Structure 1
Amino acid sequence: MTVADGVVARVGLVVVSHVAGIADGVAELARQMAPDVLVLPAGGTDDGGVGTSFDRVLTALEQASADASGVVVTYDLGSALLTTETALELLDDDVRRLVTVVDAPLVEGTLAAAVAAQGRAGVQEVVAAAAGLAQGAAPEAGDDAEERTTLVLVNPLGLHARPAAAVARALAGLDARTTLGRPGGPGVDARSVLGVVGLALRGGDEVDLRVSGPDAATAVRTVAELVEQGFGELDGPPEPAPSPGRTSDAASTGPDFSGTAASPGVAAGPLVHLGGEEPHVPERTAAEIGSHSAAEGARLQEALRTLDARLAASSDDVVQAHRALLADPALAGTAQQLVAGGASAASAWWRVVGDARAVLAGGDEVVAGRAADVLDVGLQVLALLDPSLDAALPPAERLAGAVVVAADLLPSQVPQLAEAGVAGVATAGGARTAHASLLARGLGLPMVVGLGGAVLGLEAGVPAVLDGTAGRLTAPADPAAVAEAHERRAAAERERHEAQAAAAAPVVLPDGRRVEVRANVASVAEARAAREAGADGVGLLRTELMFLDRAELPGEEEQAAGLAAVFAALDGAPVVVRTLDVGGDKQLPALRLDPVRHGFLGERGLRHGLAHPEVLRTQVRAVLRAAASTASEVALMAPMVTFADEAQAFRDVVERAGAELQAEGAAYALPSALGVMVEVPAAALAVDELAAVVDFVSVGTNDLVQYLVAAERTLPEVAGLYRPDATAVWRTLEQVVAGARRGGCRVAVCGELAGDPETAARLVALGVDELSMAPVSVAAVKAALRP
């Protein structure tokens, strides 16, 4: 089969798994590694359960064979192979001949096959690439002389998934046996994406390159050029290579390091390395440790139960997300399958955790942040299976008053560090949207992420200054800088206490206008925190939490009970409930969303609700029922609204839900007000039309800024364009306020702009009536607004 201009089409891939999320995740990672290859997932049953679907597999095979020169199928378990073979029997002979099923590890095999297909390899070469990984061995040395060189990684994050894929693609078609490894250590096949990622080499690290074969010289030159160019991840020219005997070039670049501000505040103290060495878990069988499969399966189940019971005592959102991971069949179920095949509990669990992390790490910033959650849960279970593998923190006396430096941080480590009295945290990797960053902000622990691998080479014990507001680390810092940081921290602490003492009082401007300062919450715990922080109510109740990490949608009863619990925690304070905001960076498993069709410009927010009326209807009925159980005024708003007819359709849904509940004789209460979020420029420029339909508008500045500057906020490549202070943003906000006033509509702002004291004052000066933010910001914003 060919495509235009006589170019032979690439081989396509079909990923068959018992879990839809695994198939989707592996396929998405493969597409990122090989953007020109058709990769189709076929996971789960038709009703979203665990298993395989004949129809899904057949459809994927038909689609792939129509657009590719051949099709290679990877699968996870034997019954998936049976389903695939059954589907093949129904294909026409000429189509069936295009399909080859390969026995290979699902993640590693699919990625290797995708990279080979990207290089226009034929079917047999793609199959060989996948199957070769199944042997788990590096290429065997031949009779050719071996070329060997040591390179220094200059891109900050080193050999993560994308650079590893770049190496594999560059070597495609070359007749050269190539390995990469740590100096003095064993090498891995350079064409193995996950094998290379598993080396955990970061910026400043040395990597041994060994090559033999007819094309050895070309392979050495190709890989060396990729490394020297930083795999295209450098903002400028590569930094100078480190001097012999040094682990990084930290000192040569001066004491200042720039990263991403993850949690505001300033900190100063001696620098302490957290370590971050992951435990080595050997691949052992049950027989090798003197046990048998049934006993190992019981041990794994007991460890999962023990950790679940431990986590159940907390109402923290992140902890509850970790509980959901424990129950995920992609982890527990797959691990038990490996145990049933003879693996020990510890080795099976750790292998599954590694595969899941690899899938997540290849996604965008938000998805990649979940890889740390999988590792966190994985380590806790591993410690229960084998206490000698417990990755404990340094003693509290070493941490008190220190600035901690780590490659990354696990969510469970953040509260431990805060309790130990750590002054601040700096990480080489990480993201502002990761759970660790969210916890640090909630605990008031200054944190800077994304500083690059060079910080890992800083000398322990040197004085350090961390600015979590500016996103900067200075180490070693001079005495004057340390003294200034301590003064700033003390002053900020005094201001915080003063603001907290006055936070409960309302904000009344000199002209008599009252400004509502509310909180954004997603759980009972956050609702309580909002009241304790002095918030005037809740301006944005995110309802996504009860849908998070769920294989099936929660029913009306469960949603109503969850909402009622949040309302009760508010003690009569008003609340604005936002209907389900899905799509974009919120890919909820139960809805099986497509990253493209439901992306930032796709079917998201209210668009999804109107396209799936039962999902929206169920949620609206739950809100109305929960509203009947509280003294709070409950308003309702919809996200991602573009035109007035969508707002009217939303109002119609609410009114019909009320009529249904009345006819059923159920207790309910209609919303005290109905509103929509202004996140789309078209809505911002015609807000007067929306105001004719609704009672209030709430500006979601996070999305509005993103759409105005055409820069996706989760992509680091365009992070510099995401500027909330841009002239275009503020001109648009002026138009929103003016348009809403003409329509007699109240205006709220619930994005991150609202939580900055200086920006909040500017918004109020524009005429904004209500601001909503994280509970921790309420006191400071109220203090800044008071005359």
Structure 2
Amino acid sequence: MAKPNARVGVVLVAHVAALAEGVRTLAAQMAPEVDIRAVGGTDDGGVGTSFDAILEAVQGVRSDAGVVVLYDLGSAQLTAELVLETLDPEQADRVLLVDAPLVEGAVAAATTAAGGAGLAAVAAAARAAYVPSAETGGAEPPEPSEPSEPGEKRGEGEVRARTTLRNPAGLHARPAAALARLVREYDARVTVGRPGEPGVDAAGVLGVVARGLRVGDELEVAAAGEGARAAVDAVLALADAGFGELDEKTPPPVPPEPSAPAEAAVPEASEPPEPPEPGTLRGVGASAGLVVAPARHLRRTEPRLPPAGGAHEPDAERRRLAAAVDRVNAELGGRAAGGGSGADIAGAHQAMLADPALLAGAQARLDEATPAEVAWWRSVLEARDLLAGGTDLVAERGVDVEDLGRAVLGALGVDVRPSVRPEDVARAVVVAEEVFPSDVAALGEAGVAGLAVARGGRTSHAAILARGLDLPMVVRLGPEVLDVPDGTPVILDARTGDLRVDPPEPELTAARQTARDLAADRERARAEAAGPVVRADGTPVTVSANVGGPVEARAAVAAGADAVGLLRTELLYVDRPRLPGEDEQAAELGAVLAELGGRRAVVRTLDVGGDKLLPALDLDPWRHGPLGVRGLRYALAHPDLLRTQLRAALRAAYGHGEVWLMAPMVTVAAEARRFRVLVEEVAGELAAAGTAFARPAKVGVMVEVPAAALVADEICAEVDFVSVGSNDLTQYVMAADRTNDAVGDLYQPGHEAIWRLLGTLVDAARAAGRHVAVCGELAGEPGAAVRLVRMGVDELSMTPNGIPAVKAALRSRLS
């Protein structure tokens, strides 16, 4: 017996069998996982409808979630209504007859059902699928209405409202990702768009980005279904908060002035831009700096896909594709959890990868002649080309989609590497038509001197990553840059956006001197940041960095970090289908410690669960969620995993300066005691075996749970130091999940409740003579950092790029 489907089913009723079947085929292409039945014509094959056939189709749909019935003409409606009247009450309650256009309604209903929406939301999606217009020969469009007040109802079950976009860059990838995460929490189908235009599914990141909605644009939000009102209110709140991209200095948007008639417009006289001198290509500086180096081309070839044709099993190909997407999603999740300049970008890429349209487009192409690689790549190119036709900001997201697409192809076994490997372009200016975000990370690791890009933009994710790595980058140099021969000496001046090609030797010499002078200036600034911060009484304040790998460790040293206050070991696990062994962990941790030049490092053991559901551990979102078995709770429940990690950490510490060990998510003193005992046992085992290792100089715990802060005196009796995880502590004190945008207004690291709890904790730790550190968002805010130190905190740990500003604030206000 066939297993019921958890998704809403669809029945299509038409007067002609070929019409019903044709619409079914179209909708099934978009939503192959939905049970769609086509009923057309009379029992003898004529034009009309059949009561028995409709009844059989409705009762035959394999769905526990209900059935939506669509029809083509009024007589089909009458027959379908008779069918519903014959059903028993329990059956009838889960069948909805929907008045909607057959083709558009079928596609909307099927794709909405594929996303897991409830019966009411699927029916509402079908009804909303058709927007009549005079141009298409439909009914006359309705008269423009007054702007909707928040929460105004339009029609049965539908709520609409309007607001104005406040965040400076509008609905680009990251706010669109936040929007998609938010609306998936409600039992409603939510659309967004400009007033008077058809909206797009708010859960689809790519469709939202493609609209090109900018700051100051009016945004109309519509929702249908049981959770419609709550969903609209939540979207309005998110938009009012600028999708998390506003700071206190961001002014409200100013509506654009009404445009004058075209014939009245008189352009002001202005000086034309000075043309570049011969041998100069002019672009836009995306990441500042000046370098002199030879040019090397990074050429990208089309992926070599397996040929279409032959015999392929669609279900097997779907499983292969799903596994590849899951693998890439896990890798992105690790980067998102790792902090640094790429964390938000990785999170936005995760949301793009989760876009239902992207995967559905690939699944619809899978058949006996099309392997997963070909179907996926065609869907990616379709999405990329859709975005490429938008504004510059929208087009930049098309590059991200292609980057993601290539990553999934790589997970499917396709060679997607560029013709020149990153390791071959060290100390060169890399020339490319476009660079992907993944390229920037690899090129930065390889030590390239700079990037000269034909296309791109300052707001591209590649440019954001380049700025985070202090990698000079010029974009929009045009196709001419691709004609620069390999090995040609160039001067890349990202301050002005110029690329000088094969200049005379005196100019090269002068540019090299300027580059040295600029480097000296940076070194002086770094030297000031590297200097110690001392209180008026002469006691030092340690300003540390949070890192997850060798690249961030190097950035921490360059930024002037006194130490590493948080080394996230879970990043060794994030992209692994299996757990790494002891030797591998020891080697990777040792590589990070080796970059620190003898600086002290606090190694935190595996912080898993909550928003870090690592693929190698097969974690359950509920059991291992924010209030479940996570952090040290999970490690103590899996002592072999913890022992392996502790052994690796102590082995890595040998010969690499002072190392402290720290356990995450501690609630009571007994957990801290058990952790310390395990550390001592592992050290004894390594000593007995004659293995080279170093004992941790201190053993401590992270205080992220309010209970731990309130009994800090008991916990301090068991450990040498405590480190406050201010991000998690904030979400637990404020009862506001930091990954849930619906309660984002309550996630306030600077709330007075946090400060009072910190005061209790610091007083207890100081009384016990224990070192106190604070990690996270609060520590990296200069004003908060000063208050923390005045409160008695010994150490602040933050992302590397926050260190100079925090040190400057401490020096100026503590002296």
TM-score range, shorter chain: 0.5 to 0.7
1:571-720 equivalences in 2 (<5 Å): 571-628=597-654, 630-720=655-745
Distance 2:697 2:196 in 1: 67
Specify the alignment match of 1:202 in structure 2. none
Offset of residue 189 of structure 1: 3.7
Structure 2: gaps (5+ residues): 10-26, 37-56, 78-92, 118-127, 133-152, 164-178, 199-210, 220-238, 252-283, 287-301, 385-396, 417-435, 445-449, 472-518
1:266-415 equivalences in 2 (<5 Å): 286=307, 341-343=368-370, 346-350=373-377, 376-379=403-406
Specify the alignment match of 1:365 in structure 2. none
Distance 1:765 1:519 in 2: 20
Q: Which amino acid is 1:570 matched to? A: L
Alignment of 1:769 onto 2:688: no
With over 3 angstroms needed to count, the CA separation of the structure-2 counterparts of 1:172 and 1:559, relative to structure 1, is farther
Offset of residue 528 of structure 1: 1.0
- Asked if the contact 1:110/1:130 (under 8 Å) is kept, the reply is no
Q: How far does the alpha carbon of each residue in 1:182-235 deviate from its partner, in whole angstroms, 9 at most, with x for none?
A: xxxx9724242277899xxxxxxx96358xxxxxxxxx9867725669999699
Specify the alignment match of 1:261 in structure 2. 245
Q: How far does the alpha carbon of each residue in 1:350-376 deviate from its partner, in whole angstroms, 9 at most, with x for none?
A: 47979999xxxxxxxxxxxx9998863
- Asked if the contact 1:755/1:774 (under 8 Å) is kept, the reply is yes
Specify the alignment match of 2:109 in structure 1. 190
- Asked if the contact 1:178/1:189 (under 8 Å) is kept, the reply is no
* Structure 2 SS opposite 1:553: coil
Specify the alignment match of 2:270 in structure 1. none
Alignment of 1:208 onto 2:127: no
Alignment of 1:561 onto 2:545: no
Q: How far does the alpha carbon of each residue in 1:681-726 deviate from its partner, in whole angstroms, 9 at most, with x for none?
A: 0111111111111000000000001100111110010000011111
* Structure 2 SS opposite 1:736: helix
With over 3 angstroms needed to count, the CA separation of the structure-2 counterparts of 1:265 and 1:249, relative to structure 1, is closer
Distance 2:459 2:113 in 1: 27
Q: Which amino acid is 2:744 matched to? A: A
Specify the alignment match of 1:225 in structure 2. 158
With over 3 angstroms needed to count, the CA separation of the structure-2 counterparts of 1:728 and 1:657, relative to structure 1, is same
Among 61, 75, 86, which residue is 1:125 paired with?
A: 61
With over 3 angstroms needed to count, the CA separation of the structure-2 counterparts of 1:533 and 1:608, relative to structure 1, is same
- Asked if the contact 1:112/1:129 (under 8 Å) is kept, the reply is no
- Asked if the contact 2:610/2:627 (under 8 Å) is kept, the reply is yes
Distance 1:355 1:588 in 2: 31
- Asked if the contact 2:565/2:797 (under 8 Å) is kept, the reply is yes
Specify the alignment match of 2:575 in structure 1. 549
Q: How far does the alpha carbon of each residue in 1:448-491 deviate from its partner, in whole angstroms, 9 at most, with x for none?
A: xxxxxxxxxxxxxxxxxxxxxxxxxxxxxxxxxxxxxxxxxxxx
- Asked if the contact 1:109/1:130 (under 8 Å) is kept, the reply is no
Specify the alignment match of 1:531 in structure 2. 557
Distance 2:29 2:668 in 1: 44
* Structure 2 SS opposite 1:646: helix
Structure 1: gaps (5+ residues): 1-10, 15-29, 35-70, 72-103, 114-120, 133-137, 147-169, 199-205, 211-219, 275-280, 358-369, 388-408, 428-434, 446-492
Offset of residue 502 of structure 1: 0.6
* Structure 1 SS opposite 2:613: coil
TM value normalised by structure 1: 0.53
Distance 2:307 2:216 in 1: 48
Q: Which amino acid is 1:718 matched to? A: V
Count of residue pairs the alignment pairs up: 514
Distance 2:569 2:382 in 1: 30
Specify the alignment match of 2:534 in structure 1. 508
* Structure 1 SS opposite 2:683: helix
Distance 1:180 1:226 in 2: 24
Distance 1:196 1:187 in 2: 14
- Asked if the contact 1:579/1:638 (under 8 Å) is kept, the reply is yes
Q: Which amino acid is 1:767 matched to? A: G
* Structure 1 SS opposite 2:624: coil
Q: Which amino acid is 1:125 matched to? A: V
Specify the alignment match of 1:540 in structure 2. 566
- Asked if the contact 1:317/1:523 (under 8 Å) is kept, the reply is no
* Structure 1 SS opposite 2:598: coil
- Asked if the contact 1:263/1:441 (under 8 Å) is kept, the reply is no
Q: How far does the alpha carbon of each residue in 1:256-291 deviate from its partner, in whole angstroms, 9 at most, with x for none?
A: 993323999999xxxx9x9xxxxxx9xx99557xx8
Distance 2:650 2:549 in 1: 18
Distance 1:340 1:574 in 2: 57
Distance 2:248 2:399 in 1: 21
Specify the alignment match of 1:173 in structure 2. 96
Distance 1:773 1:645 in 2: 29
- Asked if the contact 1:535/1:775 (under 8 Å) is kept, the reply is yes
Report which of the two structures shows the higher radius of gyration computed on alpha carbons.
Answer: 2
- Asked if the contact 2:613/2:621 (under 8 Å) is kept, the reply is yes
With over 3 angstroms needed to count, the CA separation of the structure-2 counterparts of 1:426 and 1:531, relative to structure 1, is closer
Among 159, 177, 195, which residue is 1:242 paired with?
A: 195
Distance 1:494 1:758 in 2: 29
Specify the alignment match of 2:779 in structure 1. 754
- Asked if the contact 1:178/1:190 (under 8 Å) is kept, the reply is no
Among 527, 541, 545, which residue is 1:519 paired with?
A: 545
Distance 2:30 2:607 in 1: 30
- Asked if the contact 2:195/2:218 (under 8 Å) is kept, the reply is no
Q: How far does the alpha carbon of each residue in 1:118-160 deviate from its partner, in whole angstroms, 9 at most, with x for none?
A: xxx998434498999xxxxx977456599xxxxxxxxxxxxxx
* Structure 1 SS opposite 2:245: strand
Among 732, 738, 757, which residue is 2:757 paired with?
A: 732
Distance 1:225 1:737 in 2: 52
Offset of residue 641 of structure 1: 0.3
* Structure 2 SS opposite 1:595: coil
Specify the alignment match of 2:258 in structure 1. none
Offset of residue 585 of structure 1: 0.5
With over 3 angstroms needed to count, the CA separation of the structure-2 counterparts of 1:763 and 1:175, relative to structure 1, is same
Offset of residue 576 of structure 1: 0.4
Specify the alignment match of 1:80 in structure 2. none
Q: Which amino acid is 1:584 matched to? A: G
Offset of residue 615 of structure 1: 0.8
With over 3 angstroms needed to count, the CA separation of the structure-2 counterparts of 1:507 and 1:626, relative to structure 1, is same
Distance 1:634 1:555 in 2: 21
With over 3 angstroms needed to count, the CA separation of the structure-2 counterparts of 1:372 and 1:754, relative to structure 1, is farther
Q: Which amino acid is 2:718 matched to? A: V
- Asked if the contact 2:566/2:602 (under 8 Å) is kept, the reply is yes
TM value normalised by structure 2: 0.51
- Asked if the contact 1:180/1:207 (under 8 Å) is kept, the reply is no
Q: Which amino acid is 1:536 matched to? A: D
With over 3 angstroms needed to count, the CA separation of the structure-2 counterparts of 1:585 and 1:208, relative to structure 1, is same
Among 743, 746, 758, which residue is 1:721 paired with?
A: 746
- Asked if the contact 1:584/1:595 (under 8 Å) is kept, the reply is yes
With over 3 angstroms needed to count, the CA separation of the structure-2 counterparts of 1:579 and 1:110, relative to structure 1, is farther
- Asked if the contact 2:70/2:98 (under 8 Å) is kept, the reply is no
Q: Which amino acid is 2:733 matched to? A: L
Distance 2:29 2:694 in 1: 50
Distance 1:617 1:177 in 2: 61
Of stretches 729-738 and 249-258 in structure 1, the one that deviates more from structure 2 is 249-258
